[in-house]
């Protein structure tokens, strides 16, 4: 239920701490045949994470992107920023089980990865689980419906 629309691109963004992971994850997605819209950053020079979290979140929120991936050092900053957007359910995921539950129970549409706390193989596995897991709906739908402040 509510699987991602892979005809739309994946929105991706990172600050300087997440730049290297962003490049690896972008390549992983493209190697799977997915389109990727890269919102930057494009180097390891110090930048402000909201400058990338807001455009990624806006692209998901307005339907230009199927879902988003944000990466920063702890992933807290990008998750907090992304979740300011009304239609975003950003989940900070540091293990595959967290990524799976974020999709199954919360219908998360933005994956936030903590680059300073996981390895590259762990990040790739988390992305794969997030991509491959569908929202369960059912009892979880009512809960998800109560998230937005409207």
Catalytic residue among 72, 85, 93, 112: 72
- C-alpha closest to that of 46 among 71, 75, 16: 16
Q: Distance between CA atoms of 51 and 101, rounded to whole angstroms?
A: 28
**Helix and strand element counts for the chain (H, E):** 6, 5
In the residue annotation, 112 being an active-site residue is answered as no
> What is the distance between the alpha carbons of residues 37 and 26, in angstroms, rounded to a whole number?
9
Give pLDDT tens digits for 70-93: 999 999 999 999 999 999 999 999
Residue 2, domain member (yes or no): no
- Encoded tokens for 5: 């629309």
Average pLDDT over residues 34-38: 98
* Rounded-to-integer distance, Cα 90 and Cα 107, Å: 9
Domain that holds residue 41: 10-145
- Among 16, 42, 105, 112, the active-site one is 105
Check whether 2 has a pLDDT greater than 70. no
Q: Please tell me the total count of domains within the chain.
A: 1
Is 29 part of any domain? yes
In a domain, 18, yes or no: yes
Q: What is the pTM of this model?
A: 0.96
**In the predicted model, is pLDDT for residue 99 greater than 70?**
yes
3 in a structural domain: no
Task: Write the CATH number for 120.
Answer: 3.40.1400.10
Q: Does the annotation mark 105 as catalytic? A: yes
């Amino acid at each position: 239920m509510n699987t991602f629309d892979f005809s739309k691109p994946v929105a991706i963004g990172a600050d300087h701490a997440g730049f290297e992971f962003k490049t690896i994850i972008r390549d992983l997605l493209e190697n799977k045949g997915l389109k990727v819209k890269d919102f930057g950053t494009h180097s390891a020079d110090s930048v402000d994470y909201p400058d990338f979290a807001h455009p990624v979140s806006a692209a998901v929120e307005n339907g230009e992107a199927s879902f988003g991936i944000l990466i920063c050092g702890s992933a807290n900053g990008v998750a907090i920023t992304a979740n300011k957007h009304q239609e975003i359910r950003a989940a900070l995921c540091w293990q595959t089980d967290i990524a799976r539950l974020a999709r199954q129970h919360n219908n998360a549409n933005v994956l936030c990865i903590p680059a300073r706390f996981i390895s590259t193989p762990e990040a790739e596995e988390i992305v794969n689980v997030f991509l491959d897991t569908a929202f369960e709906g059912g009892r979880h739908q009512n809960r998800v419906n109560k998230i937005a402040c409207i």
